[in-house]
Amino acid sequence: MITPCGHRILIRVKDITEYDPVYKKAKEAGLALADTHEDHQRKQVGMDKGEVVSIGTTAFKDFGGDPWCKIGDTVLFAKYAGKIVDDPEDNKKYIVLNDEDIVCVLRS
């Protein structure tokens, strides 16, 4: 398991094929978009929405008050922020980013 250190937050990024309206409509219609692997990776890295998986011990301490997100929240974060990491246990990609890169929390 990946554990964020200090003021960092671990985010499970939404898959672009589930999030992007073009990919989503194509999938619903039973179509597969012809992206090269590099194109797909570039678009996926540019995603800015994900679920908070873990929060470092000093996250949000510099800003005073209560943390503005918690584990399980869906958040938007600064595009191209953070470091992409692969979890060898579940073979999924995550982003580790600074607490200040969280732009907003999406609530339904």
Give the global pTM: 0.73
The pLDDT tens digits of the residues spanning 19-57 come to 677 777 887 888 776 665 555 555 555 568 899 999 999
- CATH number of domain containing 87: 2.30.33.40
Between these two residues, 6 and 14, which has the higher pLDDT value?
A: 6
Instruction: Kindly state whether residue 1 falls inside one of the protein's structural domains.
Output: no
Residue 84's beta-bridge partner residues?
95
Instruction: Kindly state whether residue 47 falls inside one of the protein's structural domains.
Output: yes
Q: How crowded is residue 47: how many other Cβ atoms within 10 Å of its Cβ?
A: 19
Domain enclosing residue 23, as ranges = 8-106
How many domains does the chain divide into?
1
Instruction: Kindly state whether residue 90 falls inside one of the protein's structural domains.
Output: yes
Instruction: Kindly state whether residue 2 falls inside one of the protein's structural domains.
Output: no
Q: What is the CA radius of gyration of the chain?
A: 15
Instruction: Kindly state whether residue 3 falls inside one of the protein's structural domains.
Output: no
Q: Mean pLDDT lowest for which of 58-62, 68-72, 79-83?
A: 79-83
Amino acid 64: pLDDT: 82
Average pLDDT on 70-90 reads 89
Instruction: Kindly state whether residue 32 falls inside one of the protein's structural domains.
Output: yes
Which segments within 7-101 are labelled E, that is strand?
8-13, 49-55, 74-77, 83-86, 93-98
Q: How far is CA 58 from CA 6, 9, 31, 39, 99, in A?
A: 5, 10, 45, 36, 9
